[in-house]
Chains A and B, each alone.
Chain A
Amino acid sequence: MTEIVNKPYGTSFKKYASQNKNILCLSGDLTSSCEVDIFRDEYPNQFVSMGMAEQNMMSFAGGLAMSGFTPFIHTFGVFAYRRPYDQLLASIAYPRRRVRIMGFLPGITTPAGMTHQAIEDIAVMRTIPNMTVIETGDAAEVESICEQADNVDGPVYCRILRGAVPRLFDSPLKIGDIRILNSGSDILLMTSGICTEEALRARAALISQGISILHLHIHTFKPFNEDKILDLISNIKLGVITMENHLVNGGLGTTISEIISKHGLSKKLIKLGLKDTFAHGGSKQYLTKYYGFDAYALINAIEKFIGQKLNIEEQDLGKVRIEDVHSLSKAEAL
């Protein structure tokens, strides 16, 4: 049974920031939504309420960094780059300010629809010079993100999971590392964020069918650890599958295809994720299924590679972990 951790970000941010007085906690009117309300209440002097004014928040954070502080910006991922993109570049990325941007509600992890779903954030962020880009995939990664991000000399964008978060790993996130979750030789599967938990639902069924899968969990998009996966891609027999809570263009799938083409590796690649489409509001399990990047979509992709139907039905997959729409672990139903 997977351990579920409640509000790992809120707890770990408080622990880290309270010991580092240089850190200022900025919030764009999403303080409890980003789990930093407990920190605000206990350390009001380290908290700066920025209201709903993201353009100002980005440049203001740049100014705080210019006077020696380290701002941690808390907002939903979409609000960190769509409206204030110009400010993000001019005030934070270009001058390499030590600003840590914590983007909540990555991809389709919110029923709030297009305006709230950061589905192209990784594509945008990884093309910005000087930016480090991280995505957390479980509670252990969320718990270690503050310290890891803060070690970076320059700006960092992090996709943060909130509320009830499963603990999948027993070691902290280390920027630049790649986790090997399962070794195998037929298919190389690379997953990131919530897709790793989703892919693990298919693990037992695939093993029972004798499919040998090398499964990697990717959390660092930039700088991407190309060296570590080069041989793994080269040596895989059938092909590579990427699975991401993001557009298949510009994110993990694209990163891997760039590496494959750069090194002339001639491997087939199936990219699971949002295929050049916006999403709409709904639950995570509904949306990943509707848009084709749930565990069953993974089975279908593997079937394509092996050229035959596997004897796996929906009910053979691990149970879907259903999150409560309303729970004490979230500030609102979003």
Chain B
Amino acid sequence: MKNTLSSEKIALGIRRRVFEHCIKNNGAYLSQACSSAEQLAWLYNEALHLGDSIAPSIPEEFKGVPSASNKNYKTGAGYNGPNNKDYDRLIFAPAHYALVAYATLIEVGRMSEEGLSMFNKDGSSVEIIGAEHSPGMEMHNGTLGIGLSTAAGIAYGRKLNNEKGQTCVFMSDGELQEGQIWEAIQVSVFYKLDNLWAIIDVNEQQVDGAMSDVLDIGDINKKINSFGAKCIEIDGHDINAMRQAKNEKHDGRPLIILARTSPYKGMNFLKTRFPRLHYVRFKSEDERNKMNLEISKELGIDPIIY
């Protein structure tokens, strides 16, 4: 399914939606929309070969966790289309970016707007930390570091099955602090998984603040390349750069795109909160009001009525 909108336009729509949600609900994972909007817009709009959504446009209520007695259990992967040997498969690793993922699904026409009104409501599947039954998700990634390993396993299996479809992981840079990520790169290189690729939102932020202060991870491009994967570093807000990076040959090894981003891209006023950007909750009505006025101006919309 190709959207008729440009990826740039979709990215703007994602920022607007997440911003509106943040102002109305007095808090959200807002900076993640700033850093990742272009990546998610590009993934859904251009990069991934996905079938039409097979999930209900308005998400169903929570239907229980997987168990032997829960026969009707479904993951949220249906929003990314059917599981088919020719289609790509997306693993969405940073589950706390869920709000941004939902906004993306709406912008690309895979979920209705009403889906967002169910966000973080009791009994809803549209959870604050993407669960595997949440729209667009296929597995729990709330514990960071397991996404790439899982995708490597999927890619290995798909190679054995001679499937054409690729496996893509959307990641964030904070999780590179987890040892499992490096185990996953190690195994993907060893098994020459060139049907596996990842794009990492390198916004250099984590819960406690800037990664350089919390636990600096050094030159990740050099690290990933020396682990043997093909690593390309780009401006994560430049969609043309993403297109080029994806076209780079990476025969016999996985491709990892480092998308260097700003956690306040498109909402420069957010910079006033640096380095506490992981979850934006307003400290006062005054701050909320000021953010509303300043950022809505930047996004080209009227201030949000709340």
Contact = CB atoms under 8 A, between A and B. Distances in A.
Interface of A: 48, 50-51, 53, 55-56, 58-69, 86-87, 90-91, 94-96, 129-130, 153-154
Contact of B150 (A53, A60, A86): A60
B139 interface: yes
B66 A90 contact: no
Given A50-B187, A60-B149, A69 B157 contact: yes
B183 interface: yes
Contact of B153 (A67, A95, A96, A153): A67
A62 B180 contact: no
Contact of B157 (A55, A66, A94, A95): A66
Interface of B: 65-68, 75, 132, 138-140, 142-143, 145-146, 149-158, 160-161, 163, 179-180, 183-184, 186-187, 190-191
Given A53-B187, A56-B184, A69-B160, A94 B153 contact: no
Contacts, number: 106
30 contacts: A50-B187, A53-B187, A55-B180, A56-B149, A58-B149, A59-B146, A59-B149, A59-B184, A60-B149, A60-B150, A60-B152, A61-B153, A62-B150, A63-B149, A63-B155, A63-B156, A64-B153, A64-B156, A67-B158, A68-B161, A90-B142, A90-B143, A91-B146, A91-B149, A94-B66, A95-B132, A96-B67, A96-B68, A129-B67, A130-B67
A59 B180 contact: yes
Given A60-B152, A67-B153, A129-B67, A90 B187 contact: no
Nearest to A66: B154
B128 to A, nearest CB: 17
A63 B154 CA distance: 4
B153 A66 contact: yes
B154 A95 contact: no
A133 B302 CA distance: 59
B179 to A, nearest CB: 7
A90 B156 contact: no
B139 to A, nearest CB: 6
B139 A67 contact: no
